[in-house]
Structures are given as C-alpha cells and as structure tokens.
Amino acid sequence: MCGLLGFLTADTATTEVVDQVYDALHCQRHRGPDEKGTWHDDHMIFGFNRLSIIDIEHSHQPLRWGPADNPQRYAMTFNGEIYNYLELREQLAAAHAAEFPDGKIFATDGDGEAIVAAFHFWGPEAVRKLRGMFAFAIWDTESQELFLARDPFGIKPLFLATGPGGTAFASEKKSVLELLSPLGLSDELDPRALEHYTVLQYVPEPESLHKNIRRLESGNYATVRVGQEPVVTRYFRPDFRVRPFVAGSEQARYAEIAAALEDSVAKHMRADVTVGSFLSGGIDSTAIAALAMRHNPKLITFTTGFEREGYSEVDVAAESAELIGARHIVKVVSPAEFAAAIPEIVWYLDDPVADPALVPLYFVAKEARKHVKVVLSGEGADELFGGYTIYREPLSLKPFEYLPAGARKLLGRLGDKLPDGKRGKSLLQRGSLSLEDRYYGNARSFNDAQLRAVLRDFRPEWTHQDVTAPIYAQSAGWDPVARMQHLDLFTWLRGDILVKADKMTMANSLELRVPFLDSEVLRVAEGIPYDQKITRETSKYALRQALDGIVPDHVLNRAKLGFPVPLRHWLRGTELYDWAETQIAESQTDHLIDKAAVTQMLRDHKAGVSDHSRRLWTVLVFMVWHGIFVEDRIKPEIQEPTYPVRPDSPSTQPDASK
C-alpha cells in the first residue's frame, strides 16, 4: 500500500524533469511515509512512497528484476497487495528455477517480484492471475515499453496524462497536476465531468475534473511507447448471468460462499504488521471481523458514530465486538470536528466526492492508525450479493411490464403532474421508464430541472447515459438485478465507495483491505439466482444464509446503516448552516454555479420547504474543491506524518539512477 509515480519522456532526458518529479512525489507522501525512492534511465523516471507491510526490511521500490541473461531488465513500482503472492512465487519457481543461477528467481520475500516475474513469463495475461488490489507500472529497458495495470474492481487508483512532453502517471491526481507543465498540458477544467459529478455525486471513470488528466479504468491495462499515446485493453468482464449450480443444493451453495469468503479473509490477513478491522452495525463488516478473529484472536476493531440519536451504530458494533471477542475502539465525531476537517479531506480526495460518510471514515481511520497499520473492511458485498434496497425495485415495478408502452407513458405523465412528495408520484414516474432510463446507480442528486437552475452552462445532451449506456450494453439479456449490480460495479463502487475507502485511509497512512472484492468471492457470487439475492423481505439472502453461525444473530438480518451522517439536520441548524452560507458567499465559482440559486436552496432547506441536503452537499464539496485546486483560496494545513516512520533506505535515495 503505497504511492507510485512515473514520467515517460517523449524527447527530453529525464534529468530535465527530475525536480518536478520530486515535488510531485511529495504531494503523495501520506501514502507511504516509511521510505521514499526514485530510479531513472534516459526516458523513464519512477518515484515511490512506501508504506511497508510485507517483507519490511527488503522489497524496496522502485524494484529491479530480470531474467538470468539481463537481471536488471525491468524496473517496477507497485501500489497494493497481491494476496496469492506466495502461491505465485512457488508456481514461478517450480517452472523456471532452472533458468536462473543456483535456481534462485527472487531476491526478496515480497509480492512485488512475483508481479514482475509473472509479467516476464506470461506477459499481460499475468494480470488475470493476480488475486489482490493493485496499480503498478513496469518499464522494460530492453523493449523500451511501459506497462500499466489496475486491479479488476478499482480498489487502487491510477491517474494518467499524456501530452507533447510524454506520459505521467501517479496514485494521486495532485501529483499529476504538478507534472502538467513539462507534459505541455493545461490545467483546464472539464465541464462535462462537472455535470456528471453534479448528478452522480462523484466523477465517473475514466474522467477527472481536469480535462487533461484521466484515470486508467479498473480492470484495464495499458502499454505506452516513447512519444506515443497509451494503448488501453480491458481484461476484466464480470458475468452475473445465472448458471446451473453443479453441487445441486442451496445449502451447498451457501457453504461454497462461506468457504470462499473465509479463504479470502485468510489471505487478506497476510502481513508482517498488525491487522485490525473496521466494524459497523451491519452484516458485511461483522462477517469480515468474525472471520479475521479466527486468524488473530487479539484482533482490534474500530467504529465511529455521532452523538445524535439514529445516526450511530456504535452500540450495535460494540455488542458484535464483544460477542466475537474483539477488542473494540470507538471514535465519536462532533459537528465541530466534522466542519473543521472538510478542507483537508477534500484535498486528500483529489476530485470531489459528495458522500458525507467519508468524513467519519476519515476520523475512524485516523483513530485506527494509532493502533494498527492495516484494516479490513466490508466494501463490495452489496454489489456482489445484491445488498442495496433499490435492487428490490424491479419486484415493485413488475406490474408495469405487462402494460403496453402507451399506457406506461400515460402513467408517467400522470406522475409528473402530481405534486412533489405526493405518495405514488415516484412509482408512476419510474414505472413508466425502462431500467436503462431510470437507474443510474445509488447516487441520484440533481434532476434536469434542478441542474438547469444551478449550473451556468447546463448541457441537456450530457446525461448519465454518457456513463451508463456502454455498461448496460454489456449486460443485455441479464435479469434486472444482475444488470443493476453490474452497473454499480462500474459506477458507484469504483466512483464513490472505493475512492473514499482508499483516500480516507491513505490520508492517515493506513492500508485498507476489502476481502469481499476478491476474484474467488466474485466467482461464487456471479452465478447466484435473482431470488437468492433479493426477496420482498430482505436483501443479500444467499449471503445471509451463508453467514448464519458466523455473524451474531443480532446483526444477521439487520438493515445496514454503515456510517450515517446527520447532514440534513446540521445544514438546518447551528452545526453547518453558517459554514455553508460562508462557503457559498466566498466561492469564486460564479461562472460555473448560480450562487443565488444555491443560497435559496439552503434557505428553503433550513425553513423545511424541501430536503436539499444531498444537493447542497454536492455543490458545497465542489466549492471547497474549487477553492483549493483552482482558486488557491483555501489552503488546508496538511500535516507531515506524526507516527514513527523509517528513514530512507540507502538503496533508494532520491539520486539513485541506472
């Protein structure tokens, strides 16, 4: 778990950009405060910030490896963890030991060498064999080709920019921003990405709010040659179509799910440092913590909440921790702490994410880092096993499918005429639409009328379908719940859930691991039938059955809250109203946002005319982001890491070269 950075020059020597690379590397120091290292040759320069987790005394990066006839052929930087690295090392050693002097393929005990050796022997197909979370870059000094790859789910980020000066990439967008000038690129904003953000509450991949910086999408790899554009290939395509279950019984299916998850947790516990676990009041994190206890009886669990009633799962999580035998630590976040941390949090985010749950996540990560260096968490279970309440919508809208298209449109027009808040309005409107038209993920903030009122340059032709249509095209013919899961896997999960998980933990130099997002867990989840995911009474039905006896009874069938935030109340009261009013007044976004309309929304929200909390938060987070990254008006105080760190290794000093 670290921060990587690279610059592939087009026609200049790397020595001409080395100072900018060092500055860019400093921007992501929080991702790896244990060591800092660089390496370069004539065209490629790598920078690396290391958070040491496995093979702490060795496995320094940038890493060099090669075959017997050219042992320094490859240079690599790697962010993440490969959980099957021991098995890969054994497989590679067994197949190729004879090709190396004394049969020794590896010089370290880490997972990085397993990646580069696998790439050497298997080529790009090696990414399909990696079980873990990763973003990595391999420079082949012989072929003069750069290979970049990102894990299937998008757990680890990788930003990318290509211009006349070459190609730059990094774990943090702010690092790439430092390198736009030597690339010959501007820092112009992308208005379409802003409109997508305003609707979705996150910037969808591969976009970023800067037009010239994009992300390598999850489940993709890219090859880059000197002076050329990256050539991108998708290697990961999930398939949620129901398949016959060969074992023959539902009990056998539940046993297979439990076994896959237990194996995943076991592999995710591999580390040379202490591993803890986040714990909310829901089934997902409780399952992970309960299984982790089997491998570490001294497991520490962490949760967070607020003092306001109904916005905390602290008591439920504490009861779960006691029942599974874990030591439990609680962080309660005050409204003052919440407001004070927003600029710092937005700086860490790189692009705005309007999910208020990332604030308590930031604070619980800060608390956890006092005790452990790695935590497990339950992200991904909802997407894989059918956990969101909205997935039950196809059941409620089933009667509309039997109506002629004309009748459905008529009902939709009737719904449009009903006053806002009238019972049945949303049902009629959504029932009149196809799945592709009505569902674009868990986050739905502004509609077109609201966007037109708020955005100065509203473009109705820029819609959510820019993002969702290509994804829906891949799932034609699947059942509606499978299609919704598939869409969320490529939108909400990687755009919101995993971004906040990565950014808020790495802000505190804490590694977060997500055992549900594992290739073997996905394999057993893909073929689960519709009625084993969603029923009229519950969600994640098959998963709940599989976890019976693992998860305590008081949690097994409990509805999920996660880390809820009382934002609606705070924006009406003294906690956040004045703060919000000040942000709107001071923001220099008049050319992008109708600030008078936003101010009126805030006043209407306070008066109880409408609940605008979600829309207000979306705009407010963008205004803070703009104040930091565009106006340079807001200057968060980013502290240097305060916990003990290791000095730079002599082998990875900044002037290390060929």
Question: Catalytic positions, please?
Answer: 2
Distance between CA atoms of residues 514 and 384, nearest Å: 12
- C-alpha distances out from residue 622 to 451, 512, 528, 532, Å: 14, 26, 39, 40
Count Cβ atoms below 10 Å from residue 404 Cβ, excluding itself: 8
Task: Decide: 161 and 212 in contact? Cβ < 8 Å.
Answer: yes
Read off the DSSP letter of residue 560.
P
Distance between CA atoms of residues 356 and 350, nearest Å: 16
Distance between CA atoms of residues 397 and 413, nearest Å: 16
* Strand, helix or coil for residue 288: helix
Phi/psi at 233 (nearest 5 deg)?
-130, 130
Distance between CA atoms of residues 62 and 14, nearest Å: 16
Sign of CA dihedral 127, 133, 136, 140: negative
DSSP string, 62-121: SEEE--TT-TT-EEEEEEEEETTHHHHHHHHHHHHGGGSGGG---SSSSSHHHHHHHHHH
Amino acid identity, position 47: G
Query: Residue written as tokens 């003069």?
Result: 144
99 Cα distance to chain centroid = 40
Task: Decide: 366 and 338 in contact? Cβ < 8 Å.
Answer: no
Residues 6 or more apart in contact with residue 105 via CB below 8 angstroms = 89, 92, 93, 96, 97, 113, 117
Name 161's bridge partners. 168
Amino acid identity, position 442: N
Long-range CB contacts (within 8 A, 24+) of 612-617: 612/571, 613/567, 613/568, 613/571, 614/201, 614/354, 614/445, 614/567, 615/445, 615/446, 615/450, 615/454, 616/571, 616/580, 617/354, 617/356, 617/567, 617/571
Reduced 3-state DSSP string for 422-489: CCCHHHHHHHCCCHHHHCCCCCCCCCHHHHHHHECCCCCCCCCHHHHHHHHHCCCCCCHHHHHHHHHH
Structural element, H or E, at residue 318: helix 314-324
Task: Decide: 182 and 167 in contact? Cβ < 8 Å.
Answer: no
DSSP string, 386-416: T--GGGGHHHHTGGGGGS-HHHHHHHHHHHH
Angle between helices 577-586 and 595-607 (to 10 degrees): 170
